[in-house]
Amino acid sequence: RKKVTIQALHALRQSKTPITMLTAYDYPSALGCSSSPLIDITLVGDSLAQVCLGYASTTQLTLSEMIHHTRAVARGTTHPFLVADMPFGSYHTSVSDAVTNAIRLVQEGRVEGVKLEGGREIVDVVRRLTEIGIPVMAHVGLMPQRYTSMSGYKVQGRSVSGAKKVVMDALALQEAGAFAVLVEAVPLELGKYVTDRLMIPTIGIGAGPHTSGQVLVYDDVMGTWSGHKAKFVRRFANMKDVRDNGVQRYCEAVKDGSFPNPETESYTMDKIEWAKFM
Ligand code: KIV
Ligand code: NA
């Protein structure tokens, strides 16, 4: 499949073909994402913090760590459009800092677009990045980088004022130039409403079936992540059992002496050389 472009993503929305997005954090998971011609977008999510690096929150992830992983993902990415999260703190201090850091993600991290959490308060940053040619995916609804100030991971937009905020934010971000909006953890009615109101694609996670596309965390899909399973997660594989079984059987084979097999899994010396050596 040829490289997915923003134009191609807009065409998918137009034809009501659901857009597929999946996260990746390193070279192997990037190859996993690229293995299906049906994947449209690979996201180096800042869930990297918890899923891959063992941090308690995405707010602990630095820009350098994100760039390091993004470079590996880029090396394993073929056709999917490649987007990375701008880490917490890397786009909050000023528009100019945000530009500098987004440029680092493009030049060093080799991404094609960046994702930013926030509403109307980040439109200046979104507008500037768009103006200089860095495509922005906005992220509204539940914003994990605001876990502490939101008092936990909670469904957003359930009240009239909450729903209005999500819609107003999404419209402002579209107006500022965002090429797509990710909507996280909102009622399915709101997921549909925002999607109908916008002219750009919406990518949902826990936002119901009516958004222009869906995204999930790689390890949730693979069933390797043993942390909390959100209501919106579906496990499409059970890699954890496969993995743990592989480790266990390897250890057993070494312990009982059945690995390595001398005939098929070992090298042998030439008989004459061996006689001379002895
Ligand atoms: O970091 C992440 O994994 C995300 C999700 C919404 C997919 O942003
Ligand atoms: Na994220």
Q: How confident is the model at residue 21 (pLDDT cuts 50, 70, 90)?
A: very high
Statement to judge: residues 174 and 259 lie in one domain: no
Helix or strand holding residue 272 (H, E): helix 271-277
CA dist list (Å): 144 to 46, 58, 127, 176 = 9, 7, 23, 22
Statement to judge: residues 75 and 106 lie in one domain: yes
CA dist., res. 30 & res. 111, Å (int) = 13
Give the pLDDT confidence score for residue 225 in this predicted structure: 75
Residue 61 lies in a domain: yes
- Buried/exposed code over 92-130 (b: 16+ C-beta within 10 A; e: otherwise): eeeeeebbebbebbbebbbbbbbbbbbbeebbebbbbbe
When the pLDDT of each residue in the chain is averaged and rounded to a whole number, the result is: 97
Which of these, 12, 84, 15, 72, lies nearest to 45 by C-alpha position? 84
Nearest CA to ligand 1 atom 8: 45
List, for residues 74-128, the tens digit of each pLDDT value.
Answer: 999 999 999 999 999 999 999 999 999 999 999 999 999 999 999 999 999 999 9
**Domain residue limits at 74:** 6-237
Around Cβ 18, how many Cβ atoms within 10 Å?
A: 17
Statement to judge: residues 135 and 262 lie in one domain: no
Distance of CA 97 to the CA centre of its chain: 23
Statement to judge: residues 22 and 79 lie in one domain: yes
Q: How confident is the model at residue 191 (pLDDT cuts 50, 70, 90)?
A: very high
Q: Residues with Cβ < 8 Å from 117, sequence gap 6 or more?
A: 85, 139, 140, 143, 144, 145, 146
Domain count, the chain: 2
Residue 184 lies in a domain: yes
Residue 1 lies in a domain: no
Give the pLDDT confidence score for residue 228 in this predicted structure: 82
ipTM here = 0.99
Statement to judge: residues 265 and 233 lie in one domain: no
Which of these, 190, 201, 203, lies nearest to 156 by C-alpha position? 190
Residues labelled catalytic: 184
**Nearest atom (ligand 1) to Cα of 216:** 7
Judging by beta carbons within 10 Å of its beta carbon (0-12, 13-18, 19+), is residue 149 exposed, middle or buried? exposed
- State whether the Cα torsion 123-128-129-133 is positive or negative: positive
Q: Is the CB of 85 under 6 A from ligand 1?
A: yes
What is the percentage of the chain residues whose pLDDT exceeds 70?
Answer: 100
Statement to judge: residues 61 and 191 lie in one domain: yes
What is the mean predicted confidence (pLDDT) over 26-40? 98
Statement to judge: residues 203 and 260 lie in one domain: no
Residue 62 lies in a domain: yes
Statement to judge: residues 63 and 148 lie in one domain: yes
Q: What is the CATH number of the domain that holds 133?
A: 3.20.20.60
Statement to judge: residues 250 and 215 lie in one domain: no
CA dist., res. 256 & res. 258, Å (int) = 6
Around Cβ 78, how many Cβ atoms within 10 Å?
A: 17
Nearest CA to ligand 1 atom 3: 45
List, for residues 173-189, the tens digit of each pLDDT value.
Answer: 999 999 999 999 999 99
List, for residues 194-231, the tens digit of each pLDDT value.
Answer: 999 999 999 999 999 999 999 999 999 999 977 788 99
Statement to judge: residues 61 and 167 lie in one domain: yes
Statement to judge: residues 136 and 96 lie in one domain: yes
Please provide residue 215's backbone torsions phi and psi, each rounded to the nearest 5 degrees. Answer: -135, 145
Nearest CA to ligand 1 atom 4: 45
| Ligand nearest to C-alpha 144 | 2
Helix (H, G, I), strand (E, B), or coil: what is residue 21?
A: strand
Q: Is the CB of 44 under 6 A from ligand 1?
A: no
The token pair at 198 is 């916008």
Statement to judge: residues 146 and 174 lie in one domain: yes
Residue 24 lies in a domain: yes
Residue 89 lies in a domain: yes
- CA 144 to ligand 2 centroid distance, Å: 7
